[in-house]
Chain A
Amino acid sequence: MTSVPLHYLTLHEAAGLLARREVSSVDLTRAAFDRIRALDDSVHAFLTLTEDEALAQAREADGRIARGEAGPLTGVPAAVKDVISTRGVRTTCGSRILESFVPLYDAFVIERLKEAGFVMLGKTNMDEFAMGSSGENSAFGPTHNPWALDRVPGGSSSGSAAAVAAGMALYALGSDTGGSIRQPASLTGVVGFKPTYGRVSRFGLVAFGSSLDQIGPITRSVRDAALVFQAIAGHDRRDSTSAPLDVPAVTDALTTDLSGLRVGVPREYFVEGMDDDVRQAVRAAIDRMEDLGASVDWDVSLPSTGHAVAVYYIIAPSEASANLARYDGVKYGYSYREGAGMWDNMEKTREFGFGEEVKRRIMLGTYALSSGYYDAYYLKAQKVRTLIRREFDAAFEEHDVLVMPVSPTPAFKLGEKVDDPLQMYLSDVMTIPVNIAGLPGISVPCGFSQPARPGAADGSRLPIGLQILAKPFDEPALFRAAYAYEQATDWHKQHPEL
């Protein structure tokens, strides 16, 4: 047996123990639910638990393992962000309007995981319709950061990141429209990976910003992220934006030598106002990559970076205002029925069904698309989107990966930014450009804030993440850099005291 408690195994370690019959999937699943029962009243990572189904799936997985039919994910219990459709299991998107909605079908990624021997523990908390950077926009109450319960875990995949960080799930699925996998992974000290746009089917992912959304894994190691990615990536004809390309064997890229890897550091990501601990941790991580054989160019420039937040907060709400038009109280979801007529019922359904941030974004998007403003906002943003893409394309002609922080600060306090939406939006400055350009990006733990530092807000020791980007569909370069760095450090082996 290993010295690591069952709940803090990596997916890969758990698969090894399962293969050697040292533990069963039922053991792992019971351990996960024990952990959830002990901790989730204070963390609030889950919205729905599916214990009976999970134990049935675990028994089935144990049967597969006994018959020698197991794959690398078989029988390892996981959690799913509540924006991903699960047949027969309610899927709320963190919203009152879908509080009792039960999907008729599984998302593509769930179909794939079931083929691989899935054990689903439950559905995780999130900012409503994935709109938020702190988890505080959930209609069902916020998730707390396992490293400091008075702080946010990041968002919008708040519950998925917190569940993995706290040992309540061995891995989780999240979705990332503007940083919603990478930022909470960074703030909770785990690995979060957003694949290239088009790499993973969006079939069954409840739509927010359709040209930006991607599903990806949140895990305790880079290898685990590669394993989950390998299982969920690939073409799906039910998503017309799914790329008809073969998926590379990213697990083959997991080597510990970075010789010949060309690393670029865009200077626009080291901005005034960023936290000193973040700056130092990320710089030290880049030095470490150089020690491992990489060549580092500290003088890359992506001049349009400063426009990315404005571009994103025009495009994403515009797409959202169209996508969320479907919630009208007619076919499913919450429905107000006592109004003066059809229109009144529809307006009140959306008034009572949506939270404040969702309404704000629907309003912003509706304004940006409305007659007389379309050219000044939406079209202009799409043109600047082209410039941001071109700058990344040029940078990737000379570099294999680009590295930078994920978030300008470690986890902030619950309540600190809720009344100031623009400040909340600005905290996404380092993750948003990746979605605008459709790139793959990963967050890997690279250090902690220094509680003893003069000027530090309080005594909390908070995780910091390193972000690594590659050009579209070059996930192998990204995984190579991330794995070699991770293996040279032990940040990912540290866990919160709970």
Chain B
Amino acid sequence: MSITPDEVRHIARLARVGLVDDEISLFQGQLSEILDYFQRLQEVDTDNVPPTAHTLARHNVMRDDEPRPSFDKEDILANAPQREEDLFRVRAILE
């Protein structure tokens, strides 16, 4: 199982991770080797075996809808890379 440089670029784009050319060739080799290793799972008979997403069989965990105090606005904005008044400043999304 080997993946191409274009596939590496495609995955990187889906994940929004920038890669330099050296990383593309490095990951192409390493990911191919790891995906090869994963092929062993295809030998396992899993017909009629349900998937496990979670080891605790809990579903739709709800809590009472009670108002509680929230975080202080200034504390939240203290971590903002760029702030404008009480907002996070970002680059234009629509151009």
Which interface residue of B31, B55, B61 has the most chain A CB atoms within 10 A?
Answer: B55
Proximity string of chain B (44-60) to chain A, C-beta cutoff 8 Å, 1 when within and 0 when not: 10100111111110100
Which positions 36-80 of chain B face chain A at CB distance < 8 Å?
Answer: 37-38, 40-42, 44, 46, 49-56, 58, 61, 63, 71-72, 75-76, 78-80
Is B80's CB under 8 angstroms from A331's CB?
yes
Is A347's CB under 8 angstroms from B46's CB?
no
Is A313's CB under 8 angstroms from B38's CB?
yes
Proximity string of chain B (12-42) to chain A, C-beta cutoff 8 Å, 1 when within and 0 when not: 1011111110010011001101110110111
Is A364's CB under 8 angstroms from B51's CB?
no
A105 to B61, CA, bound (A): 23
Name the B residues within 8 Å of A187 (CB-CB): none
Is B15's CB under 8 angstroms from A363's CB?
yes
Complex: chain A residue closest to B19, CB-CB? A351
A486 to B62, CA, bound (A): 42
- Per DSSP, chain B at the interface is loop
Name the A residues within 8 Å of B49 (CB-CB): 383-384, 386-387
A156 to B92, CA, bound (A): 38
Complex: chain A residue closest to B46, CB-CB? A383
A472 to B56, CA, bound (A): 9
Is A329's CB under 8 angstroms from B56's CB?
no
A341 to B63, CA, bound (A): 41
A330 to B79, CA, bound (A): 10
Q: Which of A74-82, A235-243, A252-260 contacts B (4 or more CB under 8 A)?
A: A235-243
Is A333's CB under 8 angstroms from B81's CB?
yes
B44 CB to nearest A CB, Å: 5
- Per DSSP, chain A at the interface is helix
- Whether, in the assembled complex, A335 has its beta carbon less than 8 Å from a beta carbon of chain B, the answer is yes
Complex: chain B residue closest to A331, CB-CB? B88
Is A367's CB under 8 angstroms from B11's CB?
yes
Question: Which bracket fits the contact residues of A?
Answer: 35 or more
A389 to B23, CA, bound (A): 37
| Cβ contact of B40, chosen from A307, A339, A472, cutoff 8 A | A307
Name the A residues within 8 Å of B51 (CB-CB): 379, 382-383, 385-386
Task: Report if A472-B55 is in contact (Cβ < 8 Å); known contacts: A347-B16, A351-B19, A362-B15.
Answer: yes
Question: What is B's interface to A at a CB cutoff of 8 Å?
Answer: 3, 8, 11-12, 14-20, 23, 26-27, 30-31, 33-35, 37-38, 40-42, 44, 46, 49-56, 58, 61, 63, 71-72, 75-76, 78-82, 88, 90-93, 95
Question: What is A's interface to B at a CB cutoff of 8 Å?
Answer: 101-102, 104-105, 197-198, 211, 237, 240-241, 243, 304, 306-307, 309-311, 313-314, 321, 325, 328-335, 337, 339, 341-343, 345-348, 350-352, 354, 356, 359-360, 362-364, 366-367, 370, 376-377, 379-387, 389, 421-422, 425, 437-438, 472
| Known contacts A331-B80, A356-B26, A383-B46; 16 further A-B pairs (Cβ under 8 A) | A211-B55, A243-B58, A313-B37, A325-B16, A329-B81, A330-B88, A342-B92, A350-B18, A351-B20, A352-B18, A366-B14, A366-B15, A367-B35, A382-B52, A386-B46, A472-B55
Mind listing 13 A-B residue pairs with CB under 8 Å?
A102-B78, A241-B58, A328-B16, A330-B81, A333-B81, A337-B91, A341-B91, A342-B92, A356-B26, A380-B42, A384-B49, A386-B49, A422-B34
